Amino acid sequence: MMATSRVALVTGANRGIGRAVSDRLQTLGFQVVVTARDAEEAKRAAAALGGAARPAVLDVSDEDAPARVRDEVGPVDIVVNNAGIQLDWGRPPSEVPVELVRRQFEVNVLGAWRMCQAFLPGMVERGWGRVVMVSSGTGAFSHGLSPQTPGYSVSKTALNALTVLMAAETAGTGVLVNAVNPGQVRTRMRPQAERLPEQAAEDIVWAATLPDDGPSGVFLRGRKVVPW
Q: Which of 22, 152, 153, 155 is catalytic?
A: 152
Reported as a single tens digit per residue, the pLDDT across 73-105 is: 999 999 999 999 999 999 999 999 999 999 999
Q: Is 217 left (phi over 0), alpha (psi -120 to 50) or beta?
A: left
**Residue 146 annotated among the catalytic residues of the structure:** no
**Residue 156 annotated among the catalytic residues of the structure:** yes
**Residue 43 annotated among the catalytic residues of the structure:** no
* pLDDT tens, the chain, 228 aa long: 456 689 999 999 998 899 999 999 999 999 999 999 999 999 999 999 988 899 999 999 999 999 999 999 999 999 999 999 999 999 999 999 999 999 999 999 999 999 999 999 999 999 999 999 999 988 899 988 888 899 999 999 999 999 999 999 999 999 999 999 987 755 666 666 566 878 889 999 999 999 999 999 999 998 999 999
Give the integer Cα–Cα distance in Å for 227 and 187.
25
Rounded (5°) CA angle 63-69-74 = 140
Q: Which of 22, 136, 153, 156 is catalytic?
A: 156
φ, ψ dihedrals at 81, nearest 5°: -85, 85
Give the integer Cα–Cα distance in Å for 122 and 211.
19
Reported as a single tens digit per residue, the pLDDT across 6-35 is: 999 999 999 889 999 999 999 999 999 999
